Amino acid sequence: MTEFEMIAKTFQGLEEILAKELIDLGANGVAIGNRMVSFKGDKALMYKANFHLRTAIRILKPFLHFKADSADDVYEICRKVDWEKYMDLSDSFAVDSVVYSEDFRHSKFVAYRVKDAIADYFRDKYGKRPNVSVANPDLTFHIHISHDDCSLSLDSSGESLHKRGYRQEAMEAPLNEVLAAGMILMSGWDGKCDFVDPMCGSGTIPIEAALIAKNMAPGLFRSHFAFEKWKDFDRDLFEEIYNDDSQEREFEFTIKGYDKDPKAILTAKRNAKAAGLLDTIQFEQRDFKDFEPVKERTVIITNPPYGERLVEDNLLGLYEMIGERLKHALIGGEAWIISYHYECFDKIGLKPSAKIPLFNGALPCELRKYEIFDGRYNDFRGGDRRLKKDDLPSRRSGTLRHKARLAEREEARKAEKPSRKPEERKPFHKSEGKKPFHKSEGSKPFHKSEGSKPFHKSEGSKPFHKSEGKKPFRKTENKPFRNNKK
Ligand SMILES: C[S@@+](CC[C@H](N)C(=O)[O-])C[C@H]1O[C@@H](n2cnc3c(N)ncnc32)[C@H](O)[C@@H]1O
C-alpha cells in the first residue's frame, strides 16, 4: 500500500512516548514536534494509529501544503482543490483551524474562508452546497497555518481519541485518558508487578493500566472513527485490524483502585465494567491513610487533588499523609504523583528521583517519581544500585518553557509576603500566582522541517516492553460492543 504523511497530535510532554508508540506500531520517518509527532505509513497504519495509540489525541492526514499570507489567498487556493476526491455534495463537513501567524489574526476567519471555498466549489458545479455540521460532521478538514505555511488535512479520528468510549460517568476533575496512559507508559510499568492508584476517582488510571497490562487497544470501545466515512474506507482492512487480538496478553499481577469517596468507587466500577475490566481491577472504598504495607513490589501512579478543581479541607495535610504512607507502606516500590503546587510536593517530604513537566489541561503540572527504599535514600544513591541516567525518564529541553513558567510562578509565590499556604487560600483561583496558559503559547507548527527532530529508539524514555512472555487470549464476555458489527 502507498505510504503518506500523517500527523499525530498529543499533549505537551507526551511527544516522546507517542513517538515510541508509533515506532512500535511500524511507522516510518517518525519526527517529534511540539504537541505532535509526524510520521509516514499506509492506510493500515492510519487505522492502527487511531485504534492502538494510547497517547495520541487525533491523527491528521495532510493532503495539500501551500503558501499564503491572507485569508483571501487561502480561499483562492482552496477553491481550486478537487473536493470531490474527499466528499460528496450529500456529506456534511466542518473545518477546524490552528493558526500561528501575524498575518492571520483570526483563526476562525480562516476556517470560514475554507468553508466558503468548499461551498462555492460545489455550488459552481451543482448549484447547491453541502451542509456544514459542527456537532456531527461526516468529514472534518483541518487547516494549519504557521507564518505563511499552510497545510490542509483530513481529520481521520473525529472525536478526540481520549474519548475511548468506556467512560460512563465521571467524578469531578477526571484525568484525561491520554494523559493517564502517558503517565503509565512514562513510568515504564508494563504489567510485570502490582499496581495501585490509591486516589482513583472515576478509575481512569487503573483502567488505562489494565488496558496496557493486557495490551488491549484503547480504541476497542469507540463506536466510530472519522475515517469510516471516508470515500476510500476499506472496511475489510479495518475489520481485520479490529478483530486481531493476537497481541493481547494475560495479566498475572493485581491492579487496585482506592478512593475515600464511595461515589467515586461506584463510578470507577461502572467505567471498568464498560471496558470489560471489572474482573481485572479491584476497586475498594479506602482512605489512603489506611493504606497497608505492600507485600509484593508495587507501583503507585496517582493524581491527588490539587485544590484547583477539587477543594480539599487540608490539602497540605493530605500530601504530608501521602509522604508518610509511601515511606512506610511502599518499601521497595515506586510512586509517580502528578500535582500542581510546589508546596504540596514539598509536604511529601521525600526526594524525587525524576520530575517530568506535564500539562493537565491548562495547568502546568509535574509528574514526580519517588523510589522507596528500606534505608536512607542517600545511602541508596551511593550504593551498588546507583541510579543511572538511563534509569530516569528523559526531560526534554522542549519543556524549558514549561519550567520557566513554573519558576515564574514560584518567584511570584515567594514574592507574596507573608507567604500564603495553599490551604489558606481556599479555594484556589486559577488566576492566582500564575500566568494563564494560552493555546497559542509555546506551540510550534507541524511542518516537518521546523521544530521537529527525528526520533531514535534509543533516545528518551524507558522502553515499554509490549510482548514479553504473554499468551494472547480474549474472554468472550470482555468483547466490546461495536455498533457497526454484524
Ligand atoms: C483529582 S481526583 C482523581 C481523579 C481520577 N484520576 C479520575 O480520573 O477520575 C482525586 C481523588 O482523590 C480522592 N481522595 C482525596 N483524599 C483522599 C484520601 N485521603 N484517600 C483516598 N482518596 C482520596 C478524591 O475523592 C478524588 O476522587
pLDDT of 467 > 50? The answer is no
Ligand 1 centre distance from Cα of residue 200 (Å): 5
Query: Ligand 1 pocket check: which of 197, 200, 271, 314 to mutate, most ligand atoms within 8 Å of Cβ?
Result: 200
Note whether 316 and 289 are within 8 A (CB). Answer: no
Domain ranges, ordered by start, for the chain: 177-219+248-384+392-442
- Using the atom order of ligand 1, give the atom closest to the CA of residue 198: 21
Name the pLDDT band for 308 (thresholds 50, 70, 90).
low
Residue 440 sits at the vertex; the CA angle it makes with 103 and 175, to the nearest 5 degrees, is: 155
* pLDDT confidence of residue 310: 54
Ligand 1 centre distance from Cα of residue 3 (Å): 45
- Using the atom order of ligand 1, give the atom closest to the CA of residue 268: 9
Q: Which residues pair with 334 in a beta bridge?
A: 299, 371
Query: Ligand 1 pocket check: which of 207, 255, 256, 259 to mutate, most ligand atoms within 8 Å of Cβ?
Result: 259
In order, the DSSP letters of 255-281 are EEEEES-HHHHHHHHHHHHHTT-TTTE
- Using the atom order of ligand 1, give the atom closest to the CA of residue 205: 6
Ligand 1 centre distance from Cα of residue 304 (Å): 5
What is d(CA 267, CA 365) in angstroms, rounded to the nearest whole number?
25
* pLDDT confidence of residue 37: 98
What is d(CA 352, CA 449) in angstroms, rounded to the nearest whole number?
36
Give the residue with greater pLDDT, 365 vs 477.
Answer: 365
* pLDDT confidence of residue 172: 78
- Residue 279 CB coordination number (10 Å): 12
* pLDDT confidence of residue 313: 73
Look at ligand 1, atom 13, and give the residue with the nearest C-alpha. Answer: 199
Ligand 1 centre distance from Cα of residue 305 (Å): 6
Burial letters 215-243, b for 16+ CB under 10 A, else e:
bbbbbbbbeebbbbbbeeeeeeebeebbe
What is d(CA 215, CA 467) in angstroms, rounded to the nearest whole number?
8
Ligand 1 centre distance from Cα of residue 209 (Å): 17
Tell me what the pLDDT averaged over the chain comes to. Answer: 82
Name the pLDDT band for 483 (thresholds 50, 70, 90).
very low
Look at ligand 1, atom 25, and give the residue with the nearest C-alpha. Answer: 261
pLDDT of 446 > 80? The answer is no
* pLDDT confidence of residue 404: 52
Ligand 1 centre distance from Cα of residue 77 (Å): 51
For cell 497559542, the residue is: 440
Query: Ligand 1 pocket check: which of 197, 199, 303, 316 to mutate, most ligand atoms within 8 Å of Cβ?
Result: 199
Q: pLDDT per residue over 374-411, tens digit each? A: 754 444 443 333 334 444 334 333 334 455 555 555 56
Ligand 1 centre distance from Cα of residue 24 (Å): 33
Look at ligand 1, atom 14, and give the residue with the nearest C-alpha. Answer: 199
Ligand 1 centre distance from Cα of residue 273 (Å): 20
Q: What CATH number labels 177-219+248-384+392-442? A: 3.40.50.150
* pLDDT confidence of residue 484: 39
Ligand 1 centre distance from Cα of residue 199 (Å): 4
pLDDT of 349 > 50? The answer is yes
Q: pLDDT per residue over 177-235, tens digit each? A: 999 999 999 999 999 999 999 999 999 999 999 999 999 999 999 999 999 999 999 99
Ligand 1 centre distance from Cα of residue 464 (Å): 27
**Mean per-residue pLDDT for 448-460?**
42
Q: pLDDT per residue over 249-292, tens digit each? A: 999 999 999 999 999 999 999 999 999 999 999 999 999 999 99
**Mean per-residue pLDDT for 152-161?**
97
Q: pLDDT per residue over 95-147, tens digit each? A: 999 999 888 878 789 999 999 999 999 999 999 999 999 889 999 999 999 99
In order, the DSSP letters of 61-127 are EEEEEEE-SSHHHHHHHHHTS-GGGT--TT--EEEEEEEE-SS---HHHHHHHHHHHHHHHHHHHHS
- Using the atom order of ligand 1, give the atom closest to the CA of residue 321: 19
pLDDT of 416 > 80? The answer is no
Of 43, 18, 483, residue with least CA distance to 241: 43
Name the pLDDT band for 309 (thresholds 50, 70, 90).
low
- Using the atom order of ligand 1, give the atom closest to the CA of residue 204: 8
In order, the DSSP letters of 338-364 are EES-HHHHHHH-S--SEEEEEEETTEE
Pairing between strand 334-339 and 363-371? antiparallel
Query: Ligand 1: residues within 6 Å at CB?
Result: 171, 173-175, 198-202, 204-205, 258-261, 264, 287-289, 303-305, 310, 318
pLDDT of 241 > 60? The answer is yes
Name the pLDDT band for 173 (thresholds 50, 70, 90).
confident
Question: Is 469 buried (19+), middle (13-18) or exposed (0-12) by CB count in 10 A?
Answer: exposed
* pLDDT confidence of residue 399: 38
Look at ligand 1, atom 26, and give the residue with the nearest C-alpha. Answer: 201
What is d(CA 365, CA 302) in angstroms, rounded to the nearest whole number?
13
